[in-house]
Amino acid sequence: MVAGVERGYRYRFYPTAAQAVLLTRTFGCVRLVYNLGLQARRDAWQQRQETLDYQATSALLTGWKKTAEFSFLTEVSCVPLQQALRHLDVAYQKFFNGECRFPRFKSRKRSRRSAEFTASAFTHKPGELRLAKLMDEPLAVVWSRPLPDGAVPSTVTVSQDRAGRWFVSLRVVVPAVTAPATTTMVGIDAGLNRLLTLSDGTTVDNPRHESRERAALVRAQRKLARKEKGSRNREKARVKVARVHARIADRRRDALQKVTTRLVRENQVLVIEDLAVRNMLKSHTLARAISDASWGLFRTLLEYKAQEYGRTLIAVPRWYPSTRLCSVCGGRAEKMTLSVREWTCTGCDTRHDRDVNAARNILAAGLAVTACGADARPQRGTTSRTGDRR
């Protein structure tokens, strides 16, 4: 276990009119500097086969501030602008390492509105936070939970979501989570009728947050469609739609945070399926339900929590036929549709619950990989990609 881990503590705050104006201007300047830096790096390579790094773009930023066209950049704190260029440099490094695609220009309407302040651009005291250019008055932060004792924020990120809500995120280093080791192992099968089914028979109901809010979402979207483009009323209607989406996302994340924390606390080894969620979303009949279940977020939360708690997380290959394989005798059933929730093994006459059987097979396959490096393949015959889809 590492001595400490980085965590972000996010709080909502309510800026004054003057603070909102300056922060909104900062968001715009951050986006502009990022785009200027990206354009400069692209032109340098295309025209002169020259590679610019962060130091070179930072020097360009100094020159941009001295021009009449971009003199307004001096009205906001210089730190978020420099951080934007650092983020651009990181994006280039990840691209060359094959971790992401080539950096793209930020859009005023679609890009996330945020600005990052380092330690030189903010002051923090218990219950008080002040930002550069806004030192006269602290931010009205709702401190919903205290920071860990002795934690000193290294960066502060101010953001505004599409629903118009303001947030501040403080990055701190906290002691690693210590949890007693257990001997419990669990296989996890993700589904739609049930959000999760565990190998011990425990199930987690699918809350279907989007389905519950669908009527409100439809009403808000219809009102938005009637408004004239570019009008203030359309912007108000857009915010109402965004608030419904934000309410759905908040409830979904809260539920997944709770269930993933419980899983990593109670189990030493967790085995899941390596689902290709992005490909599954191409299904026109199941895309909405899969998005509402948010399997990708579930795995992301489970991965970082398992690492922090010192747990072992194993991903079984996605083509492993966990549903059609009998967890008792290893017999393999014929292809079955999603409507089949229970089936009987012809080899041992065992009656299986579809999801519980899949979770048990996932656990067995994961333990086989861990114990002897065996490949997670069906015991009988070969497996084709078409046949293994569930």
166-175 vs 4-13, strand pairing mode: antiparallel
Please give the Cα distance from 321 to 84 (Å, whole number): 46
What are the residue ranges of helices labelled H in 294-353?
A: 295-309
d(CA 303, CA 305): 6
For residue 145, give the amino acid letter: R
Beta bridge partners of 166: 13, 160
Q: 12: Cβ–Cβ under 8 A, 6 or more apart, which residues?
A: 141, 142, 144, 165, 166, 167, 168
Measure the CA–CA gap between 129 and 106, rounded to whole angstroms.
28
- The amino acid present at 124, given as its one-letter code, is H
Across the chain, how many H-helices and E-strands are there? 11, 13
Annotation says 353 is catalytic: no
Give yes or no: 355 in active site.
yes
Q: Is there a catalytic annotation at residue 273?
A: yes
Select which of 273, 292, 308, 388 is catalytic. Answer: 273
- What is the C-alpha to C-alpha distance for residues 274 and 311, in angstroms, rounded to an integer? 18
Choose the catalytic residue: 189, 210, 292, 388.
189
The answer to whether 308 and 176 have CB atoms below 8 angstroms apart is: yes
Residue 259 dihedral angles phi and psi, to the nearest 5°: -70, -35
Alpha carbon separation from 188 to 197, 366, 370, 377, 389 (Å, rounded) = 6, 11, 16, 17, 17
**Contact of 149 with 102, CB cutoff 8 Å:** no
Catalytic positions, please? 189, 273, 355
